[in-house]
Structure 1
Amino acid sequence: MVTLLKRAGRRNDEGLAETIARTLRAEALRQPAPVEHALGVAAVGLIDTITAMSDAIIALEAELATVFDQHAQAEVITSMPGLGPVLAARVLGELGDDPTRFTDVRALRSFAGTAPITRASGRSRVVSSRRICNRRLGDACHWWAFAALTKSPGTRAHYDRRR
């Protein structure tokens, strides 16, 4: 306990460590037996619900991956760092598969909400984020960037250089 407190930045807190340990070892307050039984039944019900939802999510992800792999651009899209079948399907669903939809990268970034708005006049310059954009695509791009940082060493190195 003392080591844990020292890691948290506390110093000379042996007394606090003993108080915490004593409190954790003390007998817990109890509810009446019928209440404890009801809470146990409710907890088992919640566990069953969570298990069923988890199984459904696994089945849906498998079906999504199967259907997404049939798309003509699936291999190209999933070759990008950080894009697995679920996130790639979300990005593709928000962008659509018409290559002429956006005239350039700037238009695509504006649509996704990843391009900042810069207002400048004289010596004054204000940079703000876009409020009107496709928030679902912007959210997918956020998760894509995070996944790419954790999965791609090249992306991580580029991010660290830019910071």
Structure 2
Amino acid sequence: MGIQAKVLLTQLNAACETDDELAKAVEETFRSHPDAPIMLGFPGFGSQVGARILAEIGDDRARFATAGGLKAYAGAAPITRASGRRKYVGRRFVKNNRLNPAGCL
């Protein structure tokens, strides 16, 4: 059991070192992007969250015509259905599942 624990700790240390190297590479690459100062200007955005959002949105600034389109793509805009006297406001089930949690961060 002791040898097995030692091997597992060695594997865990290797995975942690790889994760640190990847985080450093993401931060360096993100900071060299032209939109990095815009992303870092938002409160609470760091390099990791900014890189994730930039990766999910993409480089094409004309992709979303309005801010509401981007909000709907992220799943943050509610669905409103109104017919006569009835009005329904619900949440979106179809959304980008990687961009949505990044908005909470």
TM over 0.5: yes
Q: Does 1:103 align with 2:65?
A: yes
1:54-93 counterparts in 2 under 5 A? 54-93=16-55
Match of 1:152 in 2: none
CA distance in 2, matches of 1:54, 1:117: 41
Greater helix proportion: 1
Match of 1:5 in 2: none
Q: Percent identity?
A: 36
- The count of residues paired between Structure 1 and Structure 2 equals 105
RMSD: 1.5
Q: Larger relative contact order (C-alpha < 8 A, sep ≥ 6)?
A: 2
Aligned AA for 1:140?
A
CA distance in 2, matches of 1:79, 1:106: 20
Gaps of 5+ in 1: 1-38, 144-163
CA distance in 1, matches of 2:100, 2:50: 13
CA distance in 1, matches of 2:90, 2:14: 43
After superposition, give the CA deviation of every residue in 1:18-59 in whole Å (9 maximum; x if it has no partner): xxxxxxxxxxxxxxxxxxxxx322222221111111111111
Choose 1 or 2 for highest CA Rg. 1
CA distance in 2, matches of 1:46, 1:121: 60
Q: Does 1:133 align with 2:98?
A: no
Give the TM-score normalised by structure 1.
0.59
